[in-house]
Amino acid sequence: MTTVAIIGAGPGLGLATARRFGREGHDIALIARTPQHLDDLTAVLAKEGVHAQGFAADVGDPDSLQAALDAAATLLGPIEVLQYSPIPHRDFMKPVLDTSSGDLAAPLAFSVHGPATAVQQVLPGMRQLGRGTVMFVNGGTAVRPHPDRAGTSVAFAAESAYGQLLHDALRAENIHVAQLIIPGAITPGDPRKDPDVLADTLWQMHTGRGPYRTFAEPLDA
């Protein structure tokens, strides 16, 4: 079985996605900045019978991200599914009139350079497999900019465009690229935005290979 790499793995959606794909027999590569955090997640998954391993990396550091993905493929097996879902920093969310060109550098590194680094690292392996899935997870500002969240509005829109371009360019190679938009916050117990519900949505996006963009709920909900 192949590997699912979750970039930005945390105790909410990342853990739920690991469980969902792990139940299907995939090995799980958890990628986040803090080794102790990763150890905690892998311990939880091990008790549930999911084979997972943590790889420390910062999405703002291309070398560390490349090294983590390379190590994951070497130790666990080829990466068939890549999920890019780190949580953006609060300081990305300034009002637009208070946002300078310098303020946009970090959000763009986070939401454009990070995804591009990850995709380019895993793409050769997916081509060798003859299949693959890349999934981007974004908030509602990816499609509806918010004047008080300029950094994420600009960077998520760029990430959306990058993903759409990949979707169109890689479709003929049996590599599916998709985006899940989650308006508002991930909410335990919510019928649409509970982590387990969202993880199942991601599984359906992977197996169903439908349109590029899926909404967890309508933007006006």
Instruction: Break the chain into its structural domains and give their ranges.
Output: 10-215
| Average pLDDT over every residue of 142-160 | 96
What tens digit of pLDDT does each residue of 157-203 get? Answer: 999 999 999 999 999 999 999 999 999 999 999 999 999 999 999 99
Single-letter amino acid code for the residue at 63? D
Residue 159 neighbours by CB under 8 Å, 6+ apart: 111, 112, 115, 136, 138, 142
pLDDT at 221 over 70: no
pLDDT at 220 over 90: no
pLDDT at 65 over 70: yes
What order do you get walking across the sheet with 27-32 strand by strand? 52-56, 27-32, 3-7, 79-84, 132-139, 175-182, 213-215
Q: What is the mean pLDDT of the chain?
A: 96
Report the CATH fold assignment for 10-215: Rossmann fold (3.40.50)
Predicted confidence at residue 89, as pLDDT, reads 84
| Average pLDDT over every residue of 122-137 | 98
pLDDT at 14 over 90: yes
